[in-house]
């Protein structure tokens, strides 16, 4: 039975119908298919794209050889080179003390192992932190450490406990939160600069801080209410002070003006007395005896007001003339009295 002839290219079937390619033809087809597949693989693995929020770390046989930015880039195919893309211009978040969970009550779940801390005055508080960070060195982020986010979480938690452990509970729950956030950020930033895991801390915020029991919460609320009332009283006192200061300043100005007036009056009076003394002295130089007698009589009139005084002008001859002092002091015109009898006083 003839199974067909073989011409080096085709082989006939037993029934003399369809013919099949020869072995060489099959090998050629296989080679073409393999080459096409290799070309497709090479074409798909010899280029990559990076968007504007990423950087790509290129490795050649596992060793970092380049870091590229946004755009289309070429690389060696078949896994010789690989591009590891990293988000570098995107803020990423980290939750400490809680986890966002839409299925939980309130939309989040508390992680007590992370949030429960001891303050500097040995009180227990629950403090939850929200952290923002970004990748600044993609090479160090990928190959400088294992699980850099977990390292950052542990580092922040350690520094948070360190700062809260040296802070009074009142400050943690009320007005000391901003200071705690700044201290934690500074400490974590210093450690990140020292070990360089490719991450930079952007911000640290206290999401919530409260005592662990409801009784303590109510007590702190009462303390906070008292502080607010104290601030209200202080503000009222300052308002009263601000209202009274202008009145006090006006009174001070008035007292100063009165003092200046009295001062000037005393000065004028002193000048007047000096002028009177000078005039009297000049008069005294002209008529010493008369001036001396006048000064004596005026002094007597001042010391003994309302007393009538008379001047005995007797010269021992037996005839005396008595003159009233009022005529000299008051400028009166009283006539002299009758002469006193001899031997009269």
Q: Which residues contact 92 (CB under 8 A, 6 or more apart)?
A: 132, 133, 134, 135
> Which residue, chain included where needed, has tokens 């074409």?
43
In this structure, the number of other CB atoms found within 10 A of the CB of residue 119 comes to 19
pLDDT tens figures, 41-51? 655 667 788 88
Position 38 scores a pLDDT of 62
Position 302 scores a pLDDT of 79
d(CA 56, CA 64) in angstroms, rounded, equals 11
In this structure, the number of other CB atoms found within 10 A of the CB of residue 234 comes to 10
Neighbouring-strand partners of residue 21: 10
Q: Report pTM.
A: 0.54
For the chain, which residues score pLDDT lower than 70? 1-23, 26, 30, 33-45, 78, 213, 216-217, 306-345
Q: Where are the alpha helices (DSSP H) in the chain?
A: 23-45, 112-115, 138-143, 148-164, 169-173, 177-195, 214-286, 288-303, 326-329
> Which residue, chain included where needed, has tokens 């966002």?
100
């Amino acid at each position: 039975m003839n199974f067909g002839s073989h011409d080096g290219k085709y082989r006939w079937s037993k029934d003399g119908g369809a013919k099949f390619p020869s072995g060489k033809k099959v090998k050629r087809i296989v080679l073409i298919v393999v080459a096409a597949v290799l070309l497709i693989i090479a074409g798909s693995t010899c280029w990559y794209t990076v968007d504007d929020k990423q950087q790509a770390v290129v490795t050649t046989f596992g060793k970092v050889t380049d870091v590229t930015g946004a755009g289309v880039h070429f690389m060696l195919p078949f896994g010789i080179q690989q591009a590891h893309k990293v988000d570098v211009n995107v803020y990423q978040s980290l939750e400490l003390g809680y986890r966002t969970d839409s299925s939980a009550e309130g939309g989040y779940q508390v992680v007590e192992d992370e949030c429960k801390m001891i303050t500097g005055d040995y009180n227990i508080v629950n403090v939850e932190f929200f952290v923002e960070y970004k990748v600044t060195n993609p090479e160090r982020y990928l190959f400088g450490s294992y699980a850099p986010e977990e390292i950052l979480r542990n580092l922040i938690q350690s520094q948070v406990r360190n700062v809260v452990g040296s802070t009074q509970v009142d400050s943690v729950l009320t007005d000391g939160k901003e200071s705690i956030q700044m201290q934690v950020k500074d400490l974590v930033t210093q450690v990140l600069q020292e070990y360089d895991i490719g991450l930079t801390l952007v911000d640290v915020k206290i999401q919530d801080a409260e005592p662990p029991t409801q009784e303590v919460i109510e007590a702190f609320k009462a303390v906070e209410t008292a502080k607010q009332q104290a601030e209200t009283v202080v503000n009222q006192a300052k308002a009263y002070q601000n209202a009274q200061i202008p009145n006090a300043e006006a009174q001070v100005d008035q007292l100063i003006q009165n003092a200046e007036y009295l001062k000037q009056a005393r000065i004028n009076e002193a000048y007047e007395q000096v002028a009177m003394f000078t005039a009297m002295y000049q008069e005294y130089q002209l008529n010493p005896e008369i001036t001396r007698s006048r000064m004596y009589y005026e002094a007597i009139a001042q010391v003994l007001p309302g007393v009538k005084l008379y001047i005995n002008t007797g010269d021992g001859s037996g005839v005396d003339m008595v003159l009233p002092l009022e005529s000299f002091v008051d400028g009166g015109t009283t006539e002299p009295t009758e002469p006193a009898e001899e031997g009269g006083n």
